[in-house]
């Protein structure tokens, strides 16, 4: 567990949390996964997601994508003022700049001394949307998105997907209504690059440990699918 600094394409730099698997080295390299944040920044929960991926043999890296607005911010969904701040940051966030920062992170990880050169991504909420767009706009090796918000408005970009993409959809998601879910299924389910998993009776953020919508059973299923998918496509 460490922190690195990544140079941005348009100048400046941003920090990223990195969790390394056991026994990784230049002689025993590992594939990498960019862990893309929710609207709460690179907080304890996201760092734990990195540690979880590292325990499965991936170099996991969570870049601070809010650095242009407020660097190093860590927020909680349990504190009303912080929750409101998170929504404010979401409203100010530049999606296109975020993708550029993900590309910059990918470049650094691909060239890391302990990396195999293969890089995937995995994101939640805002990060789920960004994982989808990373699949559409970059040469990432594999992407996983959990309950991404706003994907239904970006389906025209799906024709650009060249590497495998897995999306986890919460059927009771308060931020992705049934009509939007139908659009996502209709727009993506016929692609041989895309795997869609829907989870009945769970709401947004059902894998956020400690969150009010956390569903342990569904989270275990989704996470097992993600690990198998990333292993198949990156290792």
Residue 21 belongs to a domain with what CATH number?
A: 3.40.50.1820
- Residue 37: predicted pLDDT: 98
Q: What is the predicted pLDDT for the residue at 1?
A: 66
Q: Which domain holds residue 59?
A: 2-234
**Number of domains, the chain:** 1
pLDDT for residue 192? 96
pLDDT for the residue numbered 140: 98
pLDDT along the chain (235 residues), means of 10: 92 97 96 98 97 98 98 95 96 98 98 97 98 98 98 97 98 98 96 97 97 97 98 97
Cα 174 to chain centroid, rounded: 19
Catalytic residues: 173, 204
| Whether pTM exceeds 0.85 | yes
């Amino acid at each position: 567990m460490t922190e690195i600094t990544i140079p941005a394409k348009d100048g400046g730099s941003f920090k990223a949390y990195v969790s390394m698997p056991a026994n990784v080295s230049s002689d025993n390299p590992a594939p990498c996964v960019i862990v893309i944040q929710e609207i709460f920044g690179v907080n304890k929960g996201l760092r734990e997601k990195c540690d979880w991926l590292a325990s499965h043999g991936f170099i996991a890296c969570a870049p601070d994508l809010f650095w242009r607005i407020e660097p190093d911010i860590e927020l909680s969904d349990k504190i009303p003022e912080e929750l409101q701040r998170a929504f404010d940051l979401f409203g100010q966030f530049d999606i296109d700049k975020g993708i550029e920062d993900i590309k910059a992170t990918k470049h650094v990880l691909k060239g890391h001394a302990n990396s195999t050169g293969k890089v995937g991504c995995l994101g939640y909420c805002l990060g789920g949307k960004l994982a989808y767009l990373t699949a559409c706009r970059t040469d990432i090796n594999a992407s996983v998105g959990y309950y991404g918000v706003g994907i239904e408005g970006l389906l025209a970009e799906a024709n650009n997907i060249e590497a495998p993409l897995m999306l986890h959809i919460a059927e009771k998601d308060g931020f992705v209504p049934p009509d939007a879910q139908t659009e996502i299924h209709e727009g993506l389910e016929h692609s041989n690059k895309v795997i869609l998993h829907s989870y009945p009776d769970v709401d947004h953020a059902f894998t956020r440990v400690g969150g009010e919508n956390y569903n342990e059973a569904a989270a275990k299923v989704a996470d097992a699918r993600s690990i198998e998918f990333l292993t198949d496509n990156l290792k």
